[in-house]
Amino acid sequence: MRAPVLVVLIALLLSSCAPASGPATTQPSAASQTIAATAAPEPAVTISLWDGQSGVLGDRLRELITKFNSTHKIQVTETFQGTYDQLYQKVVSAIQANTVPDLAQVSGPPQTAAYWKANVLTPVQQFVDSPDGFTAEQLKDFVPALLDENTFSVTGKKTLVSWPFSKSVALLYYNPDILQKAGVSVPKTWDELRSALKTVKAKTDATPFAWTPDVYYFFLPYLWSQGGDVLSSDYSKATFNTPEGVAALQYQADLVLTDKTAQVTSGFDWQNPFAQGKVAFAVSTSVSRPFIEQAMPKDQTFKVGMAPLPAGPKGPSTDLFGNNLVIFNKVAADHQRAAWIFMKWLTDVDQTVAWSLASGYMPLRVSAQNAPAFKAEADKDPRLLVALAALKDAHGIPGAADWQKIQPVMGDMVTSVVTGKATAKDAIGTAEKKVNDILAGY
Amino acid sequence: MRAGRWREAGAGYLFLAPALLIIGAFHVWPAVYVLYMSLFRWEIVQGAFIGLRNYEHLLSDPDFLSSLGLTLVYVVGTVPVEMAIGLALAIVLHQRLRLRGLFRLLYFLPYVTSQVAVALVWGWVFNPSYGAANGLLTALGQPARTWLLESGGVLSPGAPPSLALTAIMLVTIWYYLGFHTVVFLSGLTAIPEELVDAARIDGAGGWRMFRHVTFPLLSPTTYFLLLVATIGAMTSFNLVYVMSGGGQAFGCGGNPLGTTRVAALFVFDRFWCQTQLGYASAAAFALGLVVLAISLINGRLFSRRVVYAG
């Protein structure tokens, strides 16, 4: 009698020691799996979503959720938690208090990596491979770059940890009226952009360029377009202190300090002057268009120009922005499954098209890009295709858990150069040392 | 007899209970927990116990040491100025002026306004593109400045305070001026009339009256304000954080180039932006110790000079 009890106890103990989720997932990968079982009935549960979708985009997201709730047993409650940084901070607090939502938006791979390192996520792969998921064939319909961005190496195996939702890329915005007045065409290379700004300065009274310096707009795309990269592929070392890195910094210093063609702003302060037709060029994500159009004076509208970021010797490059979704492992299994069903629904063709048209984010699926509703809109306004075309040149933000610490160091590097406080060479040397210290880990 | 004493003590503790509960829950317990967290590697979730290693690292962290330096600059640049102007205003408003009540209200108004609202409005005033500060400079024929984006020093290019921190210090002084004025006014009201009359009969007036009668008798108020304002300035967060971009303009707080990253912002940055919860807790606890040490020094230096009337 005693022996079986002992065996059961040991078995129970062993099973409770196994991680609820984590690197050692034993689920087969989507590529090798065909879905055999039929999905269980949908759980009738209410799940919570925390997001950072503000203004118009928040309204559109709530409309999508209302549509989901009216057609499903699962009910989703949405809470807007502020900017992506504030959302992250609130999730970190919730982790301490053990009150995490069922699913949340993450601003990109670094935040996913930080959560993953803390072992608070259930990898989405688990559901992708389940009867609720996709066949390998179905999964091919998703834009590969978007799945790659959500894929992490887990014990040497590629695993989808988060799921794409709202994706955008960095683009060059321009005011066609000012360009026409100055007689310049849309620049295709960094050198062309620099000379176009000089011409705008000479021939018009517009501000040639306005932007808020950080690591994403200019430094990274310029570096990538020269063939450089910011971190080593295993995220163990800084790799940006190279002639390409120095050139990427120097380019910004040249615009601000030498040519005096670029105005440094703070936050989104470039947006209103641009919307008022006072600025020729700006750089931002593809979702800035609705915000710019909203800020435009009614009697002074113009057609906002959008183009890919200029190219370097190795071709064009841009950053992949937007947000992904994650599921937390502390919530009940049926809530996790419900969260996945909702996430999957969000990326169905109908929803991804509706979300893309409403928000300016890109449709996530190849079939969505060919869907009649999307094609009809794209025919009317080819600007919808600019971001999609740039996607092939998009690099994800490094999925390093320490990127949250690295980003401000890189931001300071750019700021110190464009404000003339340091030379490009000195600033990059200082930043390299700090980044390597961070990666060496304290 | 014994039961009566117990009942009396019980009633006493009952009266103390609300305050003890609030102080315990929102001050003592968090402080103890911060100390606990500071002994661990704690990034998002609790990690290994590392003893005092977080504190050791603080001592060699240039960002932490510079944040303490900036805090000192901020305290020295705000507290004495607020107190001096507050005292001068209190003396003026203590006279029998017309519209005295209105002036008292006007000076006190900023202090009862939300710090975040105040900081946002001043952020617009100092905005380099459309701010009133640059409007004024341009009207006077002066070149526009970048204000809260300017990391260059006002005294010398490389030394603190930066123009950004100086602008924040000016707003801090403007904000707390009313508080100092009102507290000094109450101190002035408490000076016994007979002492002033006696001094006047002895021929004192003007500066001598202030130097030998008013100022010494105000010393309990001055000491109180010095202590409270120093502690407040050393842990100042709201105004500095919001005017430094509030996490919107440059990423997390303390910019440009860390020149407004006072100690409380350093703690915030490491805790919330870099999610080094254990390390930030160590910084917070260390800051608490520094504030305690400075308060003790304040006490040593000034409490013996405090004179109480009567």
The predicted-structure confidence for B236-278, as pLDDT tens digits, reads as follows 999 999 998 765 555 566 678 889 999 999 999 999 888 899 9
pLDDT of residue A414: 93
For residue A2, is it within any domain? no
Would you give the end-to-end CA distance of chain B in angstroms?
38
Q: Are the Cβ atoms of B274 and A442 closer than 8 angstroms?
A: no
Question: Is there a contact between A391 and A103 (Cβ–Cβ < 8 Å)?
Answer: no
**Structural domain that includes position A80:** 43-167+321-396
In this prediction, residue A9 carries a pLDDT of: 43
| Cis peptide leading into residue B256 (ω within 30°) | yes
B258 touches chain A (CB under 8 A): yes
Same domain, A316 and A222: yes
Is the CB of residue B306 less than 8 Å away from at least one CB of chain A? no
Give residue A27's pLDDT. Answer: 40
Residues in B closer than 8 angstroms to A415, CB to CB, are 151, 250, 255-257
Residue B101 — pLDDT band, cuts 50, 70, 90?
A: confident
Do A270 and A409 have their domain in common?
yes
Q: Residue A8's pLDDT band (boundaries 50, 70, 90)?
A: very low
Looking at CA atoms only, how far is residue B249 from chain A in angstroms? 4
Q: Is residue A260 part of a domain?
A: yes
Confidence of residue B1 (pLDDT cuts 50, 70, 90): low
Contact B274/A at CB under 8 A = yes
> Which residues in chain A touch residue B266, judged by CB atoms under 8 angstroms apart?
none
Let me know whether A176 and A310 are in one domain: yes
Q: Are residues A179 and A222 in the same domain?
A: yes
pTM (two decimals):
0.85
- A86 contacts chain B (CB < 8 A): yes
Instruction: With respect to residue A24, please indicate whether it lies within any of the assigned structural domains.
Output: no
Mean pLDDT of chain B: 90
B59 touches chain A (CB under 8 A): no
B-proximal residues of A, 253-282, CB under 8 Å: 263-269, 273
- Domain-by-domain residue ranges, chain B? 65-305
Mean pLDDT across the stretch A263-270? Answer: 84
Chain B residues near residue A106 by CB distance under 8 angstroms: none
**How far off is chain A from B44, nearest CA to CA, in Å?**
6
Taken in order B106, B111, B113, B118, the sign of the CA dihedral is positive
**Residue of A92, A106, A266 best to disrupt the B interface, most CBs of B under 10 A:** A266
CATH number of B65-305: 1.10.3720.10
Report the alpha-carbon distance of residue B237 to residue A377 in Å, rounded. 48
Flag whether residue A19 sits within 8 Å of chain B, measured between CB atoms: no
One domain, residues A431 and A311: yes
CB A261 within 8 A of CB A203: no
Query: Which among A396, A411, A429 is the end of a domain?
Result: A396
User: Is A430's Cβ below 8 Å from some Cβ in B?
Assistant: no
Residue B310's pLDDT band (cuts 50, 70, 90): low
Co-location of A229 and A197 in the same domain: yes
Chain A residues close to B245, C-beta within 8 Å: 266-267
Taking only the tens place, the pLDDT of each residue in A175-212 is: 999 999 999 999 999 999 999 999 999 999 999 999 98
Instruction: Note which residues in 99-118 of chain B have CB less than 8 A from chain A.
Output: none
Q: How far is B127 from chain A (nearest CA, A)?
A: 9
Interface contact flag, A119 B128, Cβ < 8 Å: no
Give B-chain residues touching A405 at CB under 8 angstroms: 274, 276
CATH number of the domain where residue A152 is located: 3.40.190.10
Bridge partners of residue A157, in order along the sequence: A154
DSSP H helical segments within B60-114, as ranges? Answer: 62-94, 100-108
Q: Which chain B residues contact residue A118 at CB under 8 A? A: 43-45
Report how far residue B227's alpha carbon sits from residue A395's, in angstroms, rounded to the nearest whole number: 53
Using CA coordinates, name the residue in chain B closest to A96: B45
User: Which of A350, A377, A380 minimizes the C-alpha distance to A365?
Assistant: A350
Query: For residue A193, what pLDDT is reported?
Result: 97
Rounded distance, CA B64 to CA A263, Å? 32
In a domain? residue A37: no
pLDDT at residue B209 in the model: 87
Does B152 sit within 8 Å of A119, measured CB to CB?
Answer: no
Binned at pLDDT 50, 70 and 90, residue B299 comes out as confident
What six digits make up the tokens of A140? 């091919």
Q: Which two tokens stand for residue A212?
A: 């808020």
Separation between Cα atoms, residue B119 and residue A298, nearest integer Å = 31
What is the predicted pLDDT for the residue at B18? 95
Domain presence at residue A310: yes
Cβ neighbour number for residue B190 with a 10 Å cutoff: 13
Q: Are residues A246 and A306 in the same domain?
A: yes
**With contact defined as beta carbons under 8 Å apart, do B3 and B11 qualify?**
no
Total structural domains in chain A?
2
Q: Which of A300, A241, A257, A312 is nearest to A276 (CA)?
A: A300
Tell me whether residue A4 is in a domain. Answer: no
- Contact yes or no for B272 and A89 at CB 8 A: yes
Cβ–Cβ of A273/B250 closer than 8 Å? Answer: no
- Provide, as residue numbers in chain A, all residues whose Cβ is less than 8 Å from the Cβ of B146: 264
Mean pLDDT of A358-380: 91
Return residues 206-245 of B near A (CB < 8 Å): 245
On whether both A224 and A295 belong to a single domain, the answer is yes
> Which residues, other chains included, contact A346 with Cβ-Cβ below 8 Å and sequence gap of 6+?
A64, A68, A165, A325, A352, A355
Pair (A429, A418) in one structural domain = yes
Q: Are residues A184 and A232 in the same domain?
A: yes
Distance (Å) from the alpha carbon of A253 to chain B's nearest alpha carbon: 16
Distance from CA of A380 to the nearest CA of B (A): 35
Give the one of B44, B152, B257 whose C-beta lies nearest to A415's C-beta. B257
Pairwise CB contact (< 8 Å): A92 & B275 = yes
Give the best residue of B43, B55, B56 to mutate against chain A (max A CB count within 10 A). Answer: B43
Q: Inform me whether the pLDDT recorded for B84 exceeds 60.
A: yes
Q: Quick check: B129 and A92 CB within 8 A?
A: no
What is the band of B132 on the pLDDT scale with cuts at 50, 70, 90? very high
Do A96 and A47 lie in a common domain?
yes
Q: Is the pLDDT of residue A171 over 80?
A: yes
- Shortest alpha-carbon distance between residue B292 and chain A (Å): 28
CB contact under 8 A, B255 and A214: no
A288 plus A430 within the same structural domain: yes
Longest dimension (CA), chain A: 95
| Residue A421 contacts B where some CB pair is shorter than 8 Å | yes
CB atoms B250 and A411 under 8 Å? yes
